[in-house]
Chains A and B, each alone.
Chain A
Amino acid sequence: EPEVTQTPSHQVTQMGQEVILRCVPISNHLYFYWYRQILGQKVEFLVSFYNNEISEKSEIFDDQFSVERPDGSNFTLKIRSTKLEDSAMYFCASSERGNQPQHFGDGTRLSIL
């Protein structure tokens, strides 16, 4: 069965540094998402992406965050200047259409020192 793959599985970064989290969605999917889960808290929506542009974003997704689909397969989340509170598990998801079930990757654990 096709899977969403995320790399790396664990990223350790110094505060203030830029970080890029990478995702390869399922190939025929058109909608892409990023979520995060801070330890002990609920999974939170960050952003949705469709037709090469952001379709919806949460209050968390401020100017420090950006998303990109640089080629036909990758979907990336960039955090420009990381803060301690960005430490979390970041999940990428994709779906064939909006409101179709989303398929999630295994996540990237981001640790900010």
Chain B
Amino acid sequence: AQSVTQLGSHVSVSEGALVLLRCNYSSSVPPYLFWYVQYPNQGLQLLLKYTTGATLVKGINGFEAEFKKSETSFHLTKPSAHMSDAAEYFCAVSDGESGGTSYGKLTFGQGTILTVHP
């Protein structure tokens, strides 16, 4: 069974400050990891993904995340927050290819609401 824990349901930063959203996962097979963002009244938009290879992955809007197997973490960062980054962010995990037959079911964390102050 897989699970995802996002530490902090709300994170507040000042514009220009570092954004750090934490995600820890549990998986019995090598995972694929994703970050999605949800703006009000919209669906989930993919920010970035880790499948295999380079553990530091870059996504859209200046976000990046690092897969740390030893820490079972996939924290999301952005060096300088912008007002437009205010949204809810979801970390998700699915079975990797080595997990055998997998149809891509995503298991989500509970979400972190990011607020950006001027």
Residues from chain A with Cβ under 8 Å of B28 in the complex: none
- In the complex the two chains form, is B108's CB within 8 Å of A101's CB? no
- Residues 24 to 54 of chain A near chain B (Cβ within 8 Å): 31, 33, 35, 41-45, 48, 50
Contact of B106 among A4, A102, A105 (CB under 8 A): A102
Residues from chain B with Cβ under 8 Å of A31 in the complex: 103-104
Is A16 in the interface zone, CB < 8 Å from B? no
- In the complex the two chains form, is B95's CB within 8 Å of A99's CB? yes
- In the complex the two chains form, is A102's CB within 8 Å of B104's CB? yes
- In the complex the two chains form, is A42's CB within 8 Å of B103's CB? no
Residues from chain B with Cβ under 8 Å of A106 in the complex: 41-43
Q: Is the interface of A mostly helix, strand, loop or mixed?
A: strand
Residues from chain A with Cβ under 8 Å of B111 in the complex: 42-43
- Residues 1 to 60 of chain B near chain A (Cβ within 8 Å): 32, 34, 36, 41-46, 49, 51
- Rounded to whole angstroms, the CA-CA distance of A105 and B41 in the bound complex is 11
Closest to B111 in A: A42
Given contacts A33-B106, A50-B103, A106-B41, 5 further A-B contacts (CB under 8 A): A42-B109, A93-B44, A97-B104, A104-B43, A105-B43
The 10 A-B residue pairs with the shortest CB-CB distance in the complex, in nearest-first order? A104-B43, A55-B103, A98-B104, A104-B44, A43-B108, A106-B43, A48-B103, A42-B110, A98-B103, A99-B104
A-B contact pairs, 15 of them (CB 8 A): A31-B103, A33-B105, A42-B90, A42-B108, A42-B110, A44-B108, A45-B107, A50-B103, A55-B103, A56-B105, A99-B104, A101-B34, A101-B49, A106-B41, A107-B43
